[in-house]
Amino acid sequence: MIRYILQRLIGVIVIIIGATFITFIIGLIGPGSPFNIGPHTTAADVARANHLYGFDLPWYQQYWNFFTHLLHFDFGKSFSDPNRTVSEQISPTLLVSLQLGVSALCVSIFVGVPLGIVGALRRNTWLDTTVMGSSLFMYSVPTFVTIPIYQLAMVFLTQHNMPALPVTGWDPGVYYKIAPIIILGLVGMGYYARLTRTVMLEALGQDYVRTARSKGLSENKVIFIHTLRNAMLPLITVIGPSLALVVTGAFITETTFNIPGIGSTTILAINNRDWPVVQATTVILALAVATANLATDLIYSVVDPRIRLG
Amino acid sequence: MARPFRHAVFALLSIAALLVTACGSTSSGQGLAKDQSLTLVVSVPDYVTLDPAQITAQETYAAAARMFDGLVYQDNTDLAIKPDLIDDLPTVANGGISSDGVTYTFHIKKNVKFSNGDPVTANTFAFSIARALNCKVTCTADYYPTTYLGQIAGTQAYYDANNALKSSNQPSKPESDLVGPGKGVEVADPYTLILRQTKPVVAASLFLQMLSYPTGFAIDDKYAQDDPWSSSFSPNWYEQNPPVTGPFKLDSWTHKVKAVYVPNSSWYGPQVKYLKKITEVFNDDTASQFKSYQNNQLDFSYMDTASVPTAKALPDKQFTQVPQLTIRYVAMNYKDPFFSDPKVRQAFAMAMDITTQQHTVWADRNMPSCHIVPKGMPGYNPNLTCLKYDPTQAKKLLQEAKGSDPSKYGTIKFTYQSGNPDRENNATFLVNEWSQALGVTIVKNGLDRKAYLQAVLGKTAQIFEGGWADDYPDPQDFLSLLWSTPQIATGSNNNNASVAAADTLMAQADTDNDTAKRMTEYNQAEQLLINDGAAVPYEQFNLTYVLKTWVKNFTINAGGYVSPYAWGDVQIASH
């Protein structure tokens, strides 16, 4: 097990090095200057800025400098906002994304899984068709479609003097957070509902379930103790990566709702050629995905003793 | 009898209530809302800085104008330069300007204090100007204090010296290199500040205009006195409730979410009578801004072009357009072999139907205009003769210059900033106009902002779209700074335009103290530039916004912000 963990940790480091290297190369060869070039910029200004940030060094030296600073968790200074370090800029946005992502994942699981169970237990009934149909709809309609529809609906309510939720923003308190969390959560909900239904149906057909029923166990025990527990294994496999993806992949939701999360920060940094910020977010995203996958593998081995790692 | 009595009492109470309500009404006929807070949108993802010495963006300019003061300011209505923290505007007549136009004496108001109680003195301004020019402290890649303070003697040398030290561990050049008896900045007594030019580099009116830019605004020397260029000095001091002299002070700033301002009771000007709070919400997406406005989350918002018809249809004149001192233009590179001939440039100008362009692309949100100096700016020339839309004449001119075989023209690249549907539509419209009228093969070269700036400022773009907003209301800002030959070397003349006769006129006007003659010289120079196709302006920008009917006495000036003196009567009516 320890050997396996060490192997995976080395893999995580390789992934991060690879991700930062690719981002670095893209930054190096991409068009446009990273600096806020304005109408009064002179060649001397650009040369001075290049010197300040070490862009006049050979590329391998630039990358080495970046990497050695990274080992001290020093992402350097942003080009767009040189008065604040990259860490100062990213930390609050990461917290916002975590808040959004974890809450949305909770909505996905706590709504999606029960719906999947209902669908499996009421297989091929109108309830199953309705639940699975709406789940498929939620899963297949992208957020850049649902969010504008939601916004138009809220505007309609406001214009008719009816209570409405905010259409943009991320102020403290629950009021501003309800809609983005639910909308982002509904996408995952559809996925979890469909996955749960499939694995539940598979588990319900297993011999041990038939045995449990023949032993006269109550249907609740059969479903929740024997069937669901075994059906949870595939779900655990996807929860970890889902968490990483929902935290790091809510780009559209964050941008459309004007939420200051890491997704919108990354997009802005890419547009601004703010490579220190892009590098930092890349490291964080790569780390999040790799760690989530590792955690999933470890939990999987704990939940199912038949699985041996290494 | 009891029931009629109760009815009568009820009726009397109702009338009394109506009277009380009426007595409490404002002149606008509505009562004041209990919550006197105003929520505005600011079209950026976040402020980059609120340090007046580093401000370059219009959005932060508006915030700086709300919090800080300078020696002079632009009036909200006529954009005239007026005294801000000084008693009187210096003139030759009152002895404030020396007869040779070199020395300017400012008498600082004696009763002005920062919000923390510190007094504003001549030393405050000496410190603020020197700090702004200390590249070691304030320099960023897009920060050009010498653009606004370079008229003061010694500033360029001081800036360059500190610029050279920027990446070293050596301390900055001392303030005394710039400030002292006989130098560019002199503190004659605690309330008298003298600024000098080495020679009349710019006209007196222009000298004062340039001081109205935030670069030279007063910041508290005591607050930042702990060696601002030491490592212990916080570079983002302005985030921590900085002492201010303006009508509002910063209460809080949540990055990428909002900034909150509250009235500054220490302000020397007319007090803010009603407003208790201004919240500026950061949102750079105009489409979602407008939805937030419709959802009553914002009192003030901009909009995308697609939403203009909806905004225009809002009741009670919520839709407002304010002409701005901002132009958009097409420029052709004088050093490009194809565009080096003035006839080619004229042909391209005459192939542009700017009225149809404005209607079909921009939903008439801006004004079609061929003027370099925008309407409303001192020096605007109402009699300017444009190169009018005439596709037949345009084609003739092109054929005279390049022959009648379009296949020999090659492929032309029109560079513009992409990423916005309006700009895409604009580029498509222009390219179609040119290809249809002139028979040229021209392709769109849409680049994102950074790549676009690199192409344009690198002076390599063949033909490109550009824009310019005023730094200060003087024609020099639109003419000499952009289209004079010396500006090719220093950066602002991006299409290498060079019109010798216009150069001579602009150089004269820049230093001429006879205002009428100066404006005539600028008018003539502008005409020469237009005739030569140095620039082909196609619109003057309108600030297009919506404002809730309950916001009263709120006016935005042609500079795109609310003047510090215009906040006094802004109020929120009950709604």
Average pLDDT, chain A: 84
Question: Does residue B143 carry a pLDDT above 60?
Answer: no
| pLDDT category of residue B17 using cuts at 50, 70 and 90 | very low
Pick B49's closest partner by Cβ from A83, A151, A272: A83
Residue of higher predicted confidence among B325 and A1: B325
Of these ranges, A24-33, A251-260, B496-505, the one predicted with the greatest mean pLDDT is B496-505
B148 touches chain A (CB under 8 A): no
- Give the burial class of B458: count Cβ atoms within 10 A of its Cβ; 0-12 exposed, 13-18 middle, 19 or more buried: middle
Q: What pLDDT score was predicted for residue B19?
A: 41
| pLDDT category of residue B244 using cuts at 50, 70 and 90 | very high
- Tell me whether residues A158 and B294 touch, CB distance under 8 A: yes
Residue of higher predicted confidence among B304 and B57: B304
Query: Can you tell me the distance from the alpha carbon of B285 to that of A144, in angstroms, rounded to the nearest whole number?
Result: 14
- Cβ(A288)–Cβ(A247) below 8 Å: yes
Strands B463-469 and B411-417 turn out to be parallel
Query: Can you tell me the distance from the alpha carbon of A238 to that of A109, in angstroms, rounded to the nearest whole number?
Result: 11
Interface test mutation site (partner A, options B37, B58, B140, B285, max chain A beta carbons within 10 A): B140
| Min Cα separation A138/chain B (Å) | 23
Q: At what angle do helices A275-303 and A59-71 cross, to 10 degrees?
A: 50
Q: What is the ipTM of this complex?
A: 0.79
Q: What pLDDT score was predicted for residue B204?
A: 85
B44 touches chain A (CB under 8 A): no
Average pLDDT, chain B: 87
The per-residue pLDDT for range B358-417, each reduced to its tens digit, is 999 988 889 999 999 999 888 999 999 999 999 999 999 999 999 988 888 899 999 999
| pLDDT category of residue B16 using cuts at 50, 70 and 90 | very low
Cβ atoms < 10 Å from Cβ of B188: 13
Q: Produce one character per residue of B324-361: b if its CB has 16 or more CB atoms within 10 Å, e if not.
A: bbbbbbbbbbbebebbebbbbbbbbbbbbbbeebbeeb
The per-residue pLDDT for range B411-441, each reduced to its tens digit, is 999 999 987 788 899 999 999 999 999 999 9
Query: Can you tell me the distance from the alpha carbon of A8 to that of A291, in angstroms, rounded to the nearest whole number?
Result: 9
B407 touches chain A (CB under 8 A): no
Q: Produce one character per residue of B242-263: b if its CB has 16 or more CB atoms within 10 Å, e if not.
A: bbbbbbbbbeebebbbbbbbbb
Pick B457's closest partner by Cβ from A41, A171, A273: A41
Among the residue ranges B224-228, B432-436, B451-455, the one predicted with the least confidence is: B224-228
Residue of higher predicted confidence among A16 and B437: B437
Token reading at B445: 């070269």
Please state the rounded mean pLDDT for residues B223-228: 53
| Min Cα separation A222/chain B (Å) | 50
Instruction: For chains A and B, count residue pairs whose Cβ atoms are closer than 8 Å.
Output: 138
The per-residue pLDDT for range A116-148, each reduced to its tens digit, is 999 998 988 999 999 899 988 888 888 889 999
Question: Does residue B14 carry a pLDDT above 60?
Answer: no
Judging contacts by C-beta atoms under 8 Å, the chain B residues touching residue A266 are none
Pick A40's closest partner by Cβ from B295, B454, B491: B491
- Tell me whether residues A83 and B281 touch, CB distance under 8 A: no
Distance of CA B435 to the CA centre of its chain: 35
Q: At what angle do helices A262-271 and A228-248 cross, to 10 degrees?
A: 40
The per-residue pLDDT for range B492-509, each reduced to its tens digit, is 799 999 999 999 999 999
Query: Can you tell me the distance from the alpha carbon of A8 to that of A15, in angstroms, rounded to the nearest whole number?
Result: 10
Percent of chain A with pLDDT over 70: 91
Q: What pLDDT score was predicted for residue A288?
A: 82
Question: Could you tell me the sign of the dihedral formed by the alpha carbons of B365, B369, B374, B380, in that order?
Answer: negative
Helix (H, G, I), strand (E, B) or coil at B161: helix
Query: Can you tell me the distance from the alpha carbon of B282 to that of B303, in angstroms, rounded to the nearest whole number?
Result: 14
Token reading at A204: 């319900």
| Min Cα separation B180/chain A (Å) | 28
Q: CA triplet A265, A266, A272: central angle to 5 degrees?
A: 90
Question: Does residue B491 carry a pLDDT above 70?
Answer: no
Percent of chain A with pLDDT over 90: 23
Token reading at B235: 């570079």
Among the residue ranges A117-126, A188-197, B148-157, B448-457, the one predicted with the least confidence is: B448-457
- Cβ(A88)–Cβ(A170) below 8 Å: no
Which of A223, A225, A234, A146 lies closest to A191, judged by CA?
A234
Question: Does residue B4 carry a pLDDT above 60?
Answer: no
Query: Can you tell me the distance from the alpha carbon of B253 to that of B262, in angstroms, rounded to the nearest whole number?
Result: 12
Helix (H, G, I), strand (E, B) or coil at A77: strand
